[in-house]
């Protein structure tokens, strides 16, 4: 019986005349059966129906032998219900099936069937053929014939045509270090902590070192003395101390104010300049990434232009402008100060090997920065540096013995360190071997003491590291640097740690110690051994300054930053409001935000009070920020080379 064929899927490639005839026969037969069946359908007695054998022969026949469906027969309350195999459509009589012209799925009855497509296909404009669509999951066509993709429940579409599990962030945080958010089917990581940004891997968070570099340079800009250039970015600062001059009338305006006061002090200023230049020479990529090269060049030049002015004769250098007593008795704007600002010098009879060589080191280091950018300026700096070095070397003495007031401010107790530091930078700048020979001589003859810190008074750790770098001899000199200095700062050795993990050196300006040592650690780590240990340690210590113990110690940056730095000019409201001791005593935050300034920081118990009179913990200085900024550059450099701890 041909009907059996109809119970198998039939190729839909156009019905032949034969199949049309067969269908007609089936329809006729079914109609005949139906007319005689109705009365006794429920009796179970239809054995004599002429179509019974044919129905039983269909491969999809249901359990009931009562069924008269042509193809699929399912038991139902009323006896059975009929449906058709794929490619067929139920006849209007509800029993027989007719081949349909849909390519895939045929729905409805012969008189009103519609074509549908399986998942991943969509109906073409002809209403019967199905086209594969580019969607990953659910595919539809809009009225204009364009594919419309969508996703099944629990998935969301990304920007293309693929579907992403919307629970991905929940189940594994998407690999994010901090927050994971689904973003139209794909997740994105974010860093909700104030002051942190996503790293290039898209997963982990770090402090925004670019921003810290930018802000630290703003701090130096806020410290500028003299006639400010038109591109000054600190709107609450203007020209000040423009009349600073030597007793001979030589102009020594310019430079930077030392701290929260308005003195210009040669030794910490030179130290700051050399450490900033060192950080730039070593980690220039960080300044490029942060978009801060030009600001940094301007910052360095502001130092070296002033040093040039102070170097009034070959053997004469002005190392202090202003008197501590008069300056510190004044609380107000530098633009409005009127006290005498005498200039103090060192010379052959009143020498100052320390300040003169510290300045030589700074000028030589800055000359390296300008060597290709401005060769003639770089050459000028080298000339001054060489003269100052020769002066300091041949006329030995402590500058704070020559300038009495300096002993009240930054008293010096060593100068061989400054001499060696200058020799290193001069060798770096000129490649003249006599400088390296002198540096190595000094190194070989130095007492093997552990430096207290790397800072304005003692740059021993710096020159030991520079000799190592300049000679490439990590076996001879490495031990000095590592064992005598950095190892002492590691947990469990010479220095105590606070409960929150800060290495503790001194309660006055503590963060300057941990961050300048961090810079030394990062610079040494560039050379090799103990690399991971020192990088990890430096990151921990620097990140404490940025907020890791719950608050930031950098003005204008991160979470809960200091608002009351011990700093005169930023404590003043905008003019014409007056600024005097009442502003010092005010309990309001500083009206001007001294962006980027690192304050002294916490004590050995992690205690810190953000109050203006707290100069131990809340003053800011050129030298605090120098080691800090260069350490920041070092950490940013590690991110850029893919070696961030």
Catalytic positions: 261, 566, 610, 619
Report the largest interatomic distance among the alpha carbons of the chain, rounded to a whole angstrom: 138
Task: Tell me the C-alpha distance between 381 and 430, whole Å.
Answer: 11
CB 257 within 8 A of CB 226: no
386 binds, among ligand NAG, Ca ion, none (CB under 5 to 8 A by kind): none
SS3 114: strand
Nearer to Ca ion, 72 or 520 (CB): 520
Task: Tell me the C-alpha distance between 481 and 445, whole Å.
Answer: 15
* Per-residue contact flags (x/-) with ligand NAG for residues 327 to 366, judged by CB under 6 A: ------------------x-xxxx----------------
CB 223 within 8 A of CB 229: no
**36's tokens:** 């005689």
The answer to the question of residue 414 lying near Ca ion (CB under 5 A) is yes
Residue nearest to ligand NAG (CB): 347
543 binds, among ligand NAG, Ca ion, none (CB under 5 to 8 A by kind): none
Nearer to Ca ion, 289 or 403 (CB): 289
Q: Least distance (Å) from ligand NAG to the CB of residue 572?
A: 34
Nearest of 558, 565, 524 to residue 544 by alpha carbon: 558
CB 548 within 8 A of CB 539: no
210 binds, among Ca ion, ligand NAG, none (CB under 5 to 8 A by kind): Ca ion
Q: Least distance (Å) from ligand NAG to the CB of residue 321?
A: 14
Nearer to ligand NAG, 399 or 557 (CB): 399
Q: Least distance (Å) from Ca ion to the CB of residue 600?
A: 21
DSSP 401: H
Nearer to ligand NAG, 317 or 624 (CB): 317
Q: Using alpha carbons only, what angle is made at residue 358 by residues 354 and 364, rounded to the nearest 5 degrees?
A: 145
Task: Tell me the C-alpha distance between 194 and 416, whole Å.
Answer: 44
The answer to the question of residue 258 lying near Ca ion (CB under 5 A) is no
Q: Least distance (Å) from ligand NAG to the CB of residue 304?
A: 24
224 binds, among ligand NAG, Ca ion, none (CB under 5 to 8 A by kind): none
Region of 59-67, 115-123, 348-356, 553-561 interacting with Ca ion (CB under 5 A): 348-356
Q: Which residues pair with 141 in a beta bridge?
A: 147
Residues touching ligand NAG, count (CB under 6 A): 5
Q: Least distance (Å) from Ca ion to the CB of residue 267?
A: 8
Q: Least distance (Å) from Ca ion to the CB of residue 354?
A: 5
Pick the binder of Ca ion from 210, 211, 261, 603 (CB under 5 A).
210
H helices of 352-430, in order, are 353-370, 375-394, 399-402, 416-430
Task: Tell me the C-alpha distance between 412 and 353, whole Å.
Answer: 10
Q: What is the CB neighbour count within 10 angstroms for residue 553?
A: 29
CB 624 within 8 A of CB 191: no
If you write DSSP's letter for every residue of 519-562 in order, what string do you get?
Answer: HHHHHHHTTSTTHHHHHHHHHHHHHIIIIITSS--BTTSSSS--
If you write DSSP's letter for every residue of 37-97 in order, what string do you get?
Answer: HGGGGGGT--TT-TTHHHHHHSTT--S-TT---SSEEE--TTS-EEE--TTEEE-TTSS-E
211 binds, among ligand NAG, Ca ion, none (CB under 5 to 8 A by kind): none
Q: In sequence order, which residues have a C-beta less than 8 Å from that of residue 283 and are 6 or more positions away?
A: 630, 633, 634, 636, 637
The answer to the question of residue 417 lying near Ca ion (CB under 5 A) is yes
Nearest of 644, 640, 596 to residue 622 by alpha carbon: 596
Region of 212-220, 407-415, 527-535, 588-596 interacting with Ca ion (CB under 5 A): 407-415
Task: Tell me the C-alpha distance between 82 and 68, whole Å.
Answer: 8
**202's tokens:** 């898209």
Say which residue the tokens 């905008």 belong to.
Answer: 574
CB 256 within 8 A of CB 622: yes
Say which residue the tokens 């629970």 belong to.
Answer: 167
Task: Tell me the C-alpha distance between 518 and 2, whole Å.
Answer: 92
417 binds, among Ca ion, ligand NAG, none (CB under 5 to 8 A by kind): Ca ion
Q: In sequence order, which residues have a C-beta less than 8 Å from that of residue 517 and are 6 or more positions away?
A: 453, 454, 461, 485, 486, 489, 503, 541, 627
Binding to Ca ion, residues 272-301 (CB under 5 A) = 289
Binding to ligand NAG, residues 97-136 (CB under 6 A) = none
Q: Least distance (Å) from Ca ion to the CB of residue 307?
A: 17
Region of 247-255, 266-274, 413-421, 524-532 interacting with Ca ion (CB under 5 A): 413-421
Nearer to ligand NAG, 60 or 350 (CB): 350
CB 418 within 8 A of CB 317: no
Q: Least distance (Å) from ligand NAG to the CB of residue 348?
A: 4
Q: Which residues pair with 583 in a beta bridge?
A: none
Q: Using alpha carbons only, what angle is made at residue 216 by residues 212 and 220, rounded to the nearest 5 degrees?
A: 170
If you write DSSP's letter for every residue of 117-135 in order, what string do you get?
Answer: --TTEEE-TTSS-EEE-S-
474 binds, among Ca ion, ligand NAG, none (CB under 5 to 8 A by kind): none
603 binds, among ligand NAG, Ca ion, none (CB under 5 to 8 A by kind): none
348 binds, among Ca ion, ligand NAG, none (CB under 5 to 8 A by kind): ligand NAG
Task: Tell me the C-alpha distance between 351 and 62, whole Å.
Answer: 115
347 binds, among ligand NAG, Ca ion, none (CB under 5 to 8 A by kind): ligand NAG
Q: Least distance (Å) from ligand NAG to the CB of residue 244?
A: 17
414 binds, among ligand NAG, Ca ion, none (CB under 5 to 8 A by kind): Ca ion
Q: Least distance (Å) from Ca ion to the CB of residue 175?
A: 22
Nearer to Ca ion, 457 or 601 (CB): 457
Q: Least distance (Å) from ligand NAG to the CB of residue 279?
A: 34
Find how far residue 50's CA is from the centre of its chain: 84
Q: Which residues lie near ligand NAG (CB under 6 A)?
A: 345, 347-350
Q: Which residues lie near Ca ion (CB under 5 A)?
A: 210, 289, 354, 414, 417-418
């Amino acid at each position: 019986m041909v009907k059996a064929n109809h119970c198998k899927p039939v190729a839909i490639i156009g019905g032949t005349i034969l199949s049309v005839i067969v269908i007609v026969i089936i329809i006729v037969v079914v109609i005949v059966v139906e007319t005689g069946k109705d009365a006794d359908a429920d009796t179970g007695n239809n054995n004599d129906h002429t179509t019974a054998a044919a129905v039983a022969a269909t491969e999809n026949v249901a359990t009931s032998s009562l069924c008269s469906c042509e193809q699929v027969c399912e038991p139902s309350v009323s006896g059975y219900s009929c449906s058709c195999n794929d490619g067929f459509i139920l006849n209007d009589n509800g029993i027989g099936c007719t081949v349909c012209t849909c390519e895939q799925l045929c729905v409805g009855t012969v008189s009103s069937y519609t074509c549908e497509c399986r998942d991943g296909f969509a109906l073409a404009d002809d209403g019967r053929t199905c086209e594969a669509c580019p969607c990953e999951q659910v595919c539809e066509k809009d009225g204009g014939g364009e594919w419309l993709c969508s996703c099944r429940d629990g998935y969301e579409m990304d920007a293309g045509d693929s579907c992403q599990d919307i629970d991905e962030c929940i189940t594994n945080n998407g690999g994010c270090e901090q927050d994971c958010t689904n973003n139209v089917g794909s997740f994105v990581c974010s860093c909700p902590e104030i002051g942190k940004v996503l790293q290039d891997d898209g997963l982990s968070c770090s402090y925004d070192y670019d921003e810290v570099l930018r802000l630290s340079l703003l701090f130096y800009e806020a410290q500028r003395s003299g006639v400010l250039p038109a591109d000054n970015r600190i709107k609450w600062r203007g020209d000040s101390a423009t009349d600073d001059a030597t007793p001979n009338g030589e102009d020594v305006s310019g430079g930077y104010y030392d701290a929260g006061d308005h003195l210009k002090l040669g030794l910490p200023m030179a130290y700051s300049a050399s450490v900033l230049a060192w950080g730039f020479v070593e980690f220039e990529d960080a300044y490029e990434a942060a978009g801060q090269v030009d600001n940094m060049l301007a910052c360095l030049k502001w130092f070296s232009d002033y040093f040039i002015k102070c170097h009034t004769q070959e053997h004469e250098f002005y190392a202090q402008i202003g008197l501590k007593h008069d300056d510190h008795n004044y609380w107000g704007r530098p633009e409005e100060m009127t006290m005498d600002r005498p200039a103090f010098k060192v010379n052959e009879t009143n020498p100052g090997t320390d300040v003169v060589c510290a300045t030589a080191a700074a000028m030589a280091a800055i000359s390296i920065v300008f060597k290709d950018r401005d060769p003639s300026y770089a050459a000028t700096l080298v000339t001054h540096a060489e003269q100052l070095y020769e002066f300091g070397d041949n006329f030995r003495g402590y500058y704070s013995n020559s300038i009495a007031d300096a002993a009240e401010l930054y008293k010096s107790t060593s100068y061989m360190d400054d001499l060696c530091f200058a020799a290193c930078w001069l060798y770096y700048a000129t490649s003249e071997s006599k400088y390296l020979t002198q540096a190595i001589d000094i190194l070989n003859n130095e007492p093997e003491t552990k430096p207290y810190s790397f800072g304005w008074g003692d740059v021993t750790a710096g020159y030991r590291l520079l000799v190592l770098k300049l000679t490439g001899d990590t076996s001879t000199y490495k031990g000095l640097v590592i064992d005598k200095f950095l190892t002492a700062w590691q947990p469990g050795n010479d220095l105590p740690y606070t409960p929150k993990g800060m290495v503790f050196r001194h309660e006055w300006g503590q963060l300057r110690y941990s961050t300048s040592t961090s810079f030394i650690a990062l610079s040494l780590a560039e050379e090799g051994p103990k690399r991971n240990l020192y990088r990890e340690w430096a990151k921990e210590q620097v990140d404490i300054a940025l907020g890791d113990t719950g608050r930031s110690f950098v003005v204008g940056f991160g979470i809960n930053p200091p608002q009351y730095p011990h700093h005169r000019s930023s404590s003043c409201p905008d003019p014409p409001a007056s600024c005097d001791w009442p502003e010092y005593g005010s309990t309001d935050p500083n009206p001007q935000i001294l962006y980027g300034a690192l304050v002294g920081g916490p004590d050995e118990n992690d205690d810190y009070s953000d109050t203006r009179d707290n100069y131990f913990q809340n003053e800011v200085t050129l030298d605090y920020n120098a080691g800090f900024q260069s350490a920041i550059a070092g950490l940013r450099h590690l991110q850029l080379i893919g070696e961030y701890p």
